[in-house]
């Protein structure tokens, strides 16, 4: 949000509403405003206890009008509503909201952002791309490092709090909140309070979010977005460590593989860690041909006085500096322990 210093206190409404229990994203849309503005439809289900609409625009003069399913405008003084006007945005909380299709009408110029967050028993528990891994005889699906890879279909695993729903239909949506493609997801269990789905999906060439829609127990339409933005990349960063523990006073070398799935190009490698154990990274730049991999060696030195039980997140990022733009990363959690 674009706030003036005097408006910082008003934004606490968004902080308060976003940190309630079981808050999930109903809509997240962003784009450039045209001369005709934007009209967005937002389904509000009967399980929603509160909903907060957060509008922001990067130029002054942008306006958001909210219409309830009855067609009545939400304005200052509306019943059960907290309405905060900002120079470049607006925050509206309604508790409880009327179930049905709400309309957001946006006018002005520049780039806008609109998010609707609901407190409800319908919400994403998780949504992540996975691959088969584990020891022989103990294989399973494990979350991948970084972003999914462009090319072959990827495997998506999602968990949904779905006790208040009758149907669950998954899709991918773009940054404007518009559907890109539907997905076939198979339910892996029958516990609707923690319903798990798995499916294979071809990845679009644009950034996307995972969405689920359907009908609730009262036959009202619901919609949920998994808020993080995914994007298919053509470089992969994989940890090749044989350890996850570090001893005080020790020095170890962590190895990562960088694989280029696109045409030949050069990559810049950046490595950071919270406790600054990293003392050397080689190489910091690498040129890889199509399908070629290279190894990055990271030296870690743990000071002798480091307390056992301390954790350190080691983050490596590879970003192309030539050819088609692509970036991916890997994160490894290491634990300082007194064990040799």
Give the mean model confidence (pLDDT) for residues 31-39. Answer: 91
Task: Report CA 236 to chain centroid distance, whole Å.
Answer: 19
* Token pair belonging to 290: 């199509």
* Token pair belonging to 46: 């009967």
Residue 77 has pLDDT above 80, yes or no: no
More confident residue, 96 or 136: 96
Give the mean model confidence (pLDDT) for residues 288-307. Answer: 95
Residue 134 has pLDDT above 90, yes or no: no
- Find out whether 122 and 216 touch, Cβ atoms under 8 Å: yes
> Who's near 233: CB < 8 A, 6+ residues apart?
146, 147, 148, 149, 150, 326, 327, 328
- Find out whether 256 and 299 touch, Cβ atoms under 8 Å: no
Q: Which pLDDT score, from 0 to 100, does residue 135 have?
A: 67
Count each helix (H run) and each strand (E run) in the chain, helices first.
Answer: 1, 26
CA distance 172 to 183: 7
CA distance 309 to 244: 12
Residue 170 has pLDDT above 70, yes or no: yes
Give the mean model confidence (pLDDT) for residues 223-247. Answer: 95
CA distance 216 to 220: 5
110: nearest Cα among 11, 178, 30:
30
- Find out whether 42 and 102 touch, Cβ atoms under 8 Å: yes
Alpha helix ranges (H) inside the chain: 12-18
224: nearest Cα among 42, 40, 20:
42
Q: Which pLDDT score, from 0 to 100, does residue 56 have?
A: 94
Residue 61 has pLDDT above 90, yes or no: no
Rounded to the nearest integer, the mean pLDDT of the chain is 94
Give the mean model confidence (pLDDT) for residues 159-165. Answer: 97
pLDDT, tens digit, 9 for 90 and up, residues 187-224: 999 999 999 999 999 999 999 999 999 999 999 999 99
Q: For the stretch 230-268, what's the b/e string if a residue is b when 16 or more beta carbons lie within 10 angstroms of its beta carbon?
A: bbbbbbbbbbeeeeeebbeebebebebebbbbbeebebe
Residue 109 burial (CB < 10 Å; 0-12/13-18/19+)?
A: middle
What is the percent of the chain where pLDDT is above 90? 84
DSSP string computed for 37-102: -EEEEEEE-TTEEEEEEEEEESSTT-EEEEE-TTSPBP-TT-TTEEEEEETTEEEEEESSPPSEEE
Give the mean model confidence (pLDDT) for residues 271-276. Answer: 95
The pairing of beta strand 251-260 with beta strand 235-239: antiparallel
Q: Which pLDDT score, from 0 to 100, does residue 139 have?
A: 72
Q: Which pLDDT score, from 0 to 100, does residue 340 have?
A: 58
- Find out whether 132 and 176 touch, Cβ atoms under 8 Å: no
Give the mean model confidence (pLDDT) for residues 290-295. Answer: 96
Q: Which pLDDT score, from 0 to 100, does residue 88 have?
A: 87
């Amino acid at each position: 949000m674009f706030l003036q210093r005097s408006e910082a206190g008003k934004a606490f409404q968004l902080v308060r509403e976003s940190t309630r229990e079981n808050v999930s994203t109903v809509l997240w849309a962003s784009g450039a405003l045209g001369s005709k503005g934007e009209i967005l439809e937002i389904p509000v289900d009967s399980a929603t206890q509160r909903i907060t609409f957060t509008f922001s625009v990067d130029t002054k003069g942008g306006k958001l009008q909210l219409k309830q399913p009855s067609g009545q405008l939400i304005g200052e003084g509306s019943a059960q509503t907290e309405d905060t006007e900002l120079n470049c945005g607006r925050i509206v909380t309604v508790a409880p909201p009327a179930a049905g299709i709400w309309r957001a009408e946006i006018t002005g110029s520049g780039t806008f952002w609109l998010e609707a967050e609901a407190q409800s028993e319908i919400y994403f528990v998780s949504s992540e791309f996975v691959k088969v891994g584990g020891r022989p005889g103990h294989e399973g699906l494990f979350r991948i490092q970084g972003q999914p890879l462009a090319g072959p279909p990827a495997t998506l695993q999602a968990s949904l709090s779905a006790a208040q729903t009758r149907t669950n239909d998954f899709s991918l949506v773009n940054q404007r909140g518009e559907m890109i493609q539907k997905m076939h997801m198979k339910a892996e269990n029958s516990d609707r309070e923690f319903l798990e789905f798995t499916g294979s999906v071809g990845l679009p060439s644009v950034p996307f979010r995972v969405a689920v829609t359907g009908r609730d127990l009262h036959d009202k339409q619901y919609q949920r977005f998994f808020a993080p933005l995914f994007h298919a990349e053509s470089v992969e960063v994989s940890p090749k460590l044989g350890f996850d523990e570090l001893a005080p006073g020790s020095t170890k070398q962590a190895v990562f593989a960088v694989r280029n799935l696109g045409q030949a190009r050069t990559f810049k490698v950046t490595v950071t860690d919270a406790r600054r154990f990293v003392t050397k990274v080689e190489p910091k730049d690498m040129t890889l041909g199509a399908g070629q991999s290279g190894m990055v060696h990271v030296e870690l030195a743990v000071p002798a006085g480091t307390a056992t039980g301390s954790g350190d997140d080691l983050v490596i990022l590879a970003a192309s500096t030539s050819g088609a733009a692509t970036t991916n990363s890997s994160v490894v959690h290491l634990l300082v322990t007194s064990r040799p």
